[in-house]
Amino acid sequence: MPRDSKNDWRDIGLVPLDPIQEAMGSMGPWHIVITVAISLVKFPVAWHQLSIVFLAPPTNFTCIAPSSANLNESMTMKCEVDIGNGTIEKCTDFKYNRRIFRESIITEWNLICDRAQLANFAQSCTMFGVLIGNLIFSMMADRVGRKKPLMIAIALQSVAGFASAFAPWYELFLVLKFICAVSTGGTMVVSFVLLMEIIGIEWRSIMSVLYHVPFLLGHLTNPLISYLTRTWYGFQMAVSIPSIFLLAYYWVIPESPRWLLVMGKPRQAEQILIKAAERNSIPIENVKLALEAHENLITTRHTKSAEKYNITHLFRTSNLRLKTIYILVNWFVCGGCFFGLAQYMGQLDGNIFINIAVSAAMQFPGTIIVLFLISRVSRLKILIGGNILSGVSLLLITLVVNANVRIFLASLGLVGMAISFPTVYLYSGEVFPTVVRNIGVGLGSISARIGSMIAPYIATMGTIQPWLPPVIFGLGPIIGAMLCLFLPETMNCELPETIEDAENFGKNKLEEH
């Protein structure tokens, strides 16, 4: 019986494609439980990455020391005071408007006047921490597996985030926030890799979009948490405690069977695959056959000589170099505009809680649009559409004065980014050749993080000129959309495997332009 099933399985041509996937199934009860559990890490990811809106909200202040020589002069929002005889001195003491927020990091450490950019620096440190976390934990995950780094990142995220709520000095708060961000970057990259390694290839596009939904829900709950706490330290505690419960992953989430097989641990992989097969009602015999087929594939691969590839291969040939630059610009725009707009929403007139909630809720239609179009329309058209929607909406902000209309247009800008961000990720995975695909997508992610590090300074430029943030954020997606016109379509195309394939892929389109 086993011998016959083995022959039948190979006869229908499943083994050469992906025997491991056939053994555990593409999507079943086992996958659903793990997928839902893993996606919960995106709640803290959103809470921590987007927290700056409520940690450092716009705050009105009054200079109360030293006293002005002109008793009729208003000291509201003044950083310097004329104490008489033409002598100007910096204000040394302030009174804050605490009507909405009882305490923020601005009121806690006087992050105003010549210290105002320190609030933006806290957000830049957060995004830099996420970038470092992506790099450190991705390397760790390749060495020691997916599960252990995920557990470490979750624990560190909870401890560092909770401890930052008790920081007596701004500098210590910054260090703890950075550590929390590093761990947040770790949970993002490891959880996504683990998810992609257990689900079937036909589900990866859809699940990579659905996986983003808890992030949107986290964004939506941010204003509620802030409304209930009203202090920066209360908010930090509230968003850090839930991560403790995610440590239950230890008993729910398995190690990646693919990683175990690559690292030469077939017995441990077999145990996980058998559990998956049982839960998904797949014959146990398939596991044995898959392990044998995998051994044969590994043996075949070892007989082939493999060149070592690195980041420089993306820039060695003209066509691939241009495609890489255009894609990196789009990643940069998505990272900068999404996180910049999320912060800019808090700078607009109106109720800050309602503004953020509305902008977060409006991103759900964007996600639904991507889900509907992802298998029907090319990635490139979706990316161009999202960029144009975002860019035009933001530029229109400069032409209207009605506060509600401005909020609606800024929210539309976020909707566009909610469409573009997952799409540029998927497009990158298709246009880069197999030999440097991970490097290309990783470089794109770094580009997005750099954009998000710069974004806070643009989001708060409204204090200089109100039109600066929407114009800068609006021009970015328009430029990104224009560069997409030079990129090749990837829908229904055979994906490039080698550097030579990638160089020839879409070459005619670039030459035409």
Distance CA 167, CA 460 (A): 25
> Tokens 């440097």 map to which residue?
436
Examine the domain organization and report whether 223 and 284 are in the same domain.
Answer: no
Neighbouring C-alpha atoms within 13 Å toward the C-beta of 443: 22
Q: Tokens 């990646």 — which residue? A: 256
Nearest-angstrom CA–CA distance, 384 and 359:
21
Q: Does residue 6 lie within any of the structural domains? A: no
Give the residue with greater pLDDT, 269 vs 173.
173
Task: Name the domain count of the chain.
Answer: 4
Comparing 298 with 259, the larger pLDDT belongs to 259
Distance separating alpha carbons of residues 353 and 339, to the nearest angstrom = 17
- Round to whole Å and give the CA distance between 256 and 195: 9
Looking at the domain assignment, is residue 206 inside a domain?
A: yes
Query: Does residue 340 share a domain with residue 237?
Result: no
pLDDT category at 3 given cuts 50, 70, 90 is very low
Q: Does some domain include residue 7?
A: no
Q: How far, in Å, CA of 308 to CA of 435, rounded?
A: 9
Say if 322 falls within a structural domain. yes
The whole-model pTM stands at: 0.86
The mean pLDDT value for 75-96 works out to 87
Between 22-31, 200-209, 341-350, 459-468, the lowest mean confidence (pLDDT) is in 200-209
Residue 11 domain-assigned (yes or no) = no
Whole-number pLDDT of residue 509: 58
95-110 pLDDT tens trace: 999 999 999 999 999 9
- Asked if 47 and 239 touch (Cβ cutoff 8 Å), the reply is yes
DSSP β-bridge partners for residue 63: 94
Exposed e or buried b per residue across 272-301, where buried means at least 16 C-beta atoms within 10 angstroms of its C-beta = bbbebbebbebeebbbbbbbebbeebeeee
Q: 96, 119, 146: which is the final residue of a domain?
A: 96
Sorted by sequence, the CB contacts under 8 Å of residue 71 that are 6+ apart come out as none
What residue type is 129 in one-letter code? G
pLDDT band of 210, cuts 50, 70, 90 = confident
* Nearest partner of 219 among 360, 334, 400, judged by Cα: 360
Mean pLDDT of 211-238: 95
Q: Give a yes or no: residue 198 inside a domain.
A: yes
Report yes or no on 305 lying in a domain.
no
Pairwise pLDDT comparison (476 vs 285), residue with the higher score: 476
What is the CATH number for 131? Answer: 1.20.1250.20
- Please indicate whether residue 130 or residue 20 has the higher confidence score (pLDDT): 130
pLDDT digits (tens, 9 = 90+) for 43-79: 999 999 999 999 999 999 999 888 876 767 788 888 9
Give the residue numbers spanning the domain of 284: 261-299
pLDDT category of residue 475 using cuts at 50, 70 and 90: very high
The residue-averaged pLDDT of 432-453 equals 85
Average pLDDT in the chain:
86
> Measured on CA atoms in the order 83, 86, 91, 95, is the torsion positive or negative?
positive
Whether residues 189 and 48 share a domain: the answer is yes
- Amino acid 340 reads G
Alpha helices (H) along 280-402: 285-302, 318-344, 352-361, 363-373, 379-397
Considering the domain architecture, whether residues 249 and 190 belong to the same structural domain is answered as yes
Rg (CA), the chain: 26
Question: What's residue 345's pLDDT?
Answer: 92
Q: Does 73 share its domain with 178? A: no
Residues 216 and 346 in one domain: no
Residues 173 and 40 in one domain: yes
Q: Which two tokens stand for residue 95?
A: 């009174």
Model confidence at 6, pLDDT cuts 50, 70, 90, reads: very low
Minimum mean pLDDT range among 70-84, 190-204, 435-449, 497-511: 497-511
Do 168 and 228 fall into the same domain? Answer: yes
**SS3 of 354, please?**
helix
Lowest mean per-residue pLDDT among 151-165, 169-183, 363-377: 363-377
**Is there a single domain that holds both residue 79 and residue 115?**
no
Residue 183 has pLDDT above 50, yes or no: yes
Residues 177 and 319 in one domain: no
* Confidence grade of residue 198 (pLDDT, cut at 50, 70, 90): confident
- Does one domain contain both 289 and 337? no
The reply to whether 14 falls in a domain is: no
Residues 131 and 225 in one domain: yes
For 263-316, how does the pLDDT look when each residue is reduced to its tens digit (9 = 90+)? 888 888 888 888 988 888 888 887 888 787 777 766 655 544 456 778 888 888
Least confident of 12-16, 103-107, 130-134: 12-16
